[in-house]
Structure 1
C-alpha cells in the first residue's frame, strides 16, 4: 500500500516512519508539517495528486495538541480539503484526533458512540475537524489518541526533563485525568490498522486508543523524575502542583478502547513500561 503521510516530520510522524520502515510492508511518501500549511484547496490537491497514494494518514492534530496548541479554523479547513480529495479519489482518509472532543466532565471512560460535548476552543476545533471528515469522506477513520510523549520534540516528558536545568520548579497539573501514549506504541497501533486495511478490511468509523492506566500530568511527571533520578541528580522540588481555582472541577479525558480491540485485535499497553527507556534516551549524551 502506498501511504501519504501528512506532517511526517512531527513526533508521531518520525516514529511511525521508523515503524513502517522496520516492517517494510508499505511504500511511504511524506509531506512535512510546514508544507501541509496549504493556503488553498488547489495547493492541497496539487500536493496530493502528484503522489497517487492509496491512503492518506493525517498526523497534524496530535502535534498541535502535544505542543499545547489547538486546531484553528484554517486547520479545520485543511482537514476538509483532504477529506474532499480522498472522497473524489476513492481512497481512505485516516485522521488522527484527540480525547478533548469531550468536555471531560464525566468520570467514566469515554466510548466512541458518545457525542462530543466540549465547549472550549480546543474541543470545538477538534469537533469541527472530525465533523468534516465524517460528512465529506465516506471511507474514513477517525482515531483519537491519548496525549503523546517521546524522548524528543515538545511534549510533557521533554518539558519535565528540560525543566531540571532551570532554577525554578515546574508547576504541573494534578487535577485532570489522562492516559498518556508513548509515540512508538501509537505507531504500533497505526501500523496495525494500516496492515489490516491493506489486507482488505473494509472498516470506517471512529476509534479510540490510549494506555489503560489513568494518571494526572503531575503523576506522570513524578514517574519521569523517578526514572531520571537513576541517571542524574533530581531536586526534591523539581516539580510542584499547579495551583487551581478551588471551584474548578476535575476533568477526565480517558478513553474506552474496546472498539479498536474488537475490530483490529489491538490491545492497550501501559505507559509506565516506556518511561525508563524513554528518559534514558533523552539523557543519553
Structure 2
C-alpha cells in the first residue's frame, strides 16, 4: 500500500522525536522527505539536557514530540522515569522551540481524565488522572504550555497501527491461536490509527506554514478516530476483518474491568470530543472502523507476503 501524498510542501526539516513508536513510524512513512526522526540515544527525553544538541544539528522548522513513557502499569513503580519522559523532557523541547521561534506539536493522552464524566470530554474539562502515567502526561501538558504558549497539544487515544506493539495486533495474534478470548467490555473510548494521526499532524503543520503560527492556534486539542467503542468492540471488529482473510473467528467474551485487574486504574469512559480540532484547523480523523479495516488488511497482506 503506497503512502498518500503529504500536504507538506518544500521547506526545512521537521524534527520528530522518536523512531520506533507507532506515530513516529507513521510520520516517517507518510510525511514526506522533510521528516527527520531521531530517537534514543541521540534524542532521549530521559536526558533532556542533550536535546539542545539535536536542535543545533537538525535546525528544524517545526518539531513533533512522538515519544513518551507509555508503559501505563510500569509507571506506577517507575515514577521518576515516567516524569522525565512525559513531563520534564517535553518541557525542554517546548523551551527549545520557543527559543527558536518554531511550532511545537506535543502528543498527549485521554488518560489525563478519570473517565467519570459520562459523555465525551472537552479540552476545557479539568483533568483528573487516575494513575502515574496520566498524571505525568497532564503535568507535561502544563509544562509545555508554560514554556511555549503557542505549542499545540494533541490528546489522542487507543492508538494502533500495522506495526509496533498495540491492542489490535495483540488481538489478531491471540485470535489466531485461541478459540475463545476474554476482553474488557466496560471501558469506552475512541480507537485511533497512527496513520490518521500522522496525516492530521502533517495537515496542521502545512496550515501553519501557509498562514503562519497564529496566536489562537496554541493550546490543547483532541485528535482521535471518529466514533467510539469498547475494547471488546474493537477486538471483535478487528477479528471480523481478519476473518475475511481466512483467519479463524474466535468467540470474544466481554468481561468487566474488575475481572482483569491491572496495577494502574484505567478510565472507564475516556471518549474525547474533537469539535475544536475541526473548527480551528479543519481537521477531522476518519471513522475508526474504516481505518481499522485498512490497517488489518495491510497487516495481514504484508504478513502473507513475507
- Length-normalised TM-score, structure 2: 0.83
Is 2:232 aligned against 1:218? yes
Matched, 1:55 2:62: yes
Per mean C-alpha deviation after superposition, the further-off stretch among 166-175 and 215-224 is: 166-175
CA offsets 1:228-271 (integer angstroms, 9 cap, x no match): 1112242433x33334438x997211111111111111124211
Q: Which residue of 2 aligns with 1:187?
A: 198
Consecutive unaligned residues in structure 2, runs of 5 or more = 1-10, 76-80, 260-264
Structure 1 distance, partners of 2:177, 2:121, is 37
Aligned to 1:110: 121
Whole-Å separation in 1 of the counterparts to 2:105 and 2:41: 20
- Whether the 8 Å contact between 1:106 and 1:251 is mirrored in structure 2 is no
Which of 193, 207, 223 is 1:209 aligned to?
223
| Number of residue pairs matched by the alignment | 277
Q: Structure 1's 38 and 279: CA in aligned 2 closer, same or farther, altered over 3 A?
A: closer
Aligned-residue offset at 1:167: 4.1
Residue 106 of structure 2 corresponds to residue 95 of structure 1: yes
2:4 aligned partner: none
Report the 3-state secondary structure (helix = DSSP H, G, I; strand = E; otherwise coil) of the residue aligned with 1:97. Answer: strand
Residue 144 of structure 1 is matched in structure 2 by: 155
Aligned: 1:198 with 2:209: yes
Secondary structure of 1:5's partner? strand
Assess, with a 3 A threshold, how the Cα gap between structure 1 residues 50 and 105 changes in structure 2: closer, same or farther. same
Shift in Å, 1:169: 4.2
With over 3 angstroms needed to count, the CA separation of the structure-2 counterparts of 1:36 and 1:171, relative to structure 1, is farther
CA distance in 1, matches of 2:266, 2:164: 30
Question: Does the 8 A contact of 2:175 with 2:239 survive in 1?
Answer: no
Give the structure-1-normalised TM-score: 0.88
- Unpaired runs of 5+ residues, structure 1, are none
- Equivalences for 1:1-285 in 2 at 5 Å? 1=11, 2-21=13-32, 27-38=34-45, 40-61=47-68, 64=70, 72-75=82-85, 76-167=87-178, 169-199=180-210, 200-202=212-214, 203-237=217-251, 239-245=252-258, 251-284=268-301, 285=304
For 2:146 and 2:267, the matched residues in 1 are separated by 33
Cα separation, partners in 2 of 1:77 and 1:133, compared to 1, 3 Å: same
